[in-house]
A = this chain, B = another copy of it.
Amino acid sequence: MSAAPTSKGDSPGPRNVLGIDIGGTKMAVGVATPEGKLLASDRILTTVGEGPGAALGRLIDLCRRVIARSGEPVAVAGVGCVGPLDQKGGLVLSPVNLPGWDRVPLVQTIREALNAPVFLDNDANAAAMGEHRFGAGRGVANMIYLTISTGVGGGIIIDNHLYQGESGNAGEVGHMSVDFNGRPCGCGNIGCIEQYASGTAIVKRMREALEAPGGNKSVLRDLAADEITTKAVIDAAEAGDMTAKRVWDETILALGTALASFIHIFNPRRIVLGGGVTNAGEHLLGPLREATRKRTVRPMMDIVDIVQAELGHDVGIFGAIAVGLERDGRAEKL
């Protein structure tokens, strides 16, 4: 109340938001308005070999440069990072993709360097919040987000907020089983949807199919191991290759069953699908909608859309920005 009014008279101070996306390969940083207008962004390699101290030093330099380019200080920062995390403590807990990052005090380090409040969530939750606020989930109160990539992750939006569960770990949608006698998963469960629909799983199942009886008739049989990709499987299936078609059809069936189950449990308004495998676009979404429709109770199917994510490569930055906005309570005031 005692502060001198600014030249604009009603300006309440900084309002822009910094988003920081930390992955095993790259770190991306962006500044946007609370409405999601991106003012500046940049990215650098993570270079995990050099350890967390050096990487965080370069990250903070990058943050300062991007903030300077945006032209204004930021009010808050959000961070999306590969997990596991200690979200309350603001720590990174030895992610597989960040070797050596053992109990790294990420939030404290960034907060002290930038002198702003900092909020942290895992990359999948951040992406769900980003798509909900700025992407394919805009205006929808109840939404499931799945990212189908090397693994399958996601997040659950309930009444416009990320559902976090009792201890902050909810939304491990990739570890719902679709076959209780099926493929073992690293999480301990059997038959997780991740073991059928992730890019890794599609390639693995295609390789197994090539070794199985009849596999030698596939057009993919002479490819080098690293040439067998999700795209190669889809292309071969569409060209009539029966082995690839069996693998792709099973993928659609498993994923459609999973979506039917999510719809029966959550009765959502929208399901948003992101991640590399969804680059297949309608080659995936068309048959997937059909498989889901066949297995879903009619009144719940009628009110749900199944759509592709919209933010593409920027989902990391926008997700982190959404984390900052939501946790700071700033979003409520918009």
Contact = CB atoms under 8 A, between A and B. Distances in A.
Contact of A171 (B158, B166, B265): B265
A58 to B, nearest CB: 31
Contacts of A172: 264-265, 267, 297, 300
Given A165-B268, A265-B173, A260 B179 contact: no
A209 interface: no
Contact of A257 (B142, B156, B168, B180): B180
Interface string A149-172: 000000010100001111111111
Given A173-B265, A176-B176, A296 B189 contact: yes
A1 to B, nearest CB: 33
Nearest to A191: B257
A128 to B, nearest CB: 13
A189 B261 contact: yes
Is chain A's interface secondary structure helix, strand, loop, or mixed overall? loop
A303 interface: yes
A169 B260 contact: no
A260 B167 contact: no
Contacts of A204: none
B265 A169 contact: no
Interface residues of A, number: 49
Q: Report the copy number of this chain in the oligomer.
A: 2
Contact of A176 (B170, B182, B261): B261
A120 to B, nearest CB: 17
A178 interface: yes
Contact of A166 (B142, B166, B264): B142
Interface of A: 141-142, 156, 158, 163-173, 175-182, 187-191, 253-254, 257-258, 260-261, 264-269, 294-300, 303-304
- Top 9 nearest A-B pairs by Cβ distance? A165-B267, A180-B257, A170-B267, A172-B264, A175-B264, A176-B261, A166-B269, A189-B295, A178-B180
A176 B253 contact: no
A167 B141 CA distance: 11
21 contacts: A142-B165, A156-B265, A164-B267, A167-B300, A169-B297, A169-B299, A172-B267, A173-B265, A175-B261, A175-B264, A176-B176, A176-B264, A177-B261, A178-B178, A178-B180, A179-B179, A179-B182, A180-B257, A187-B297, A189-B257, A189-B264
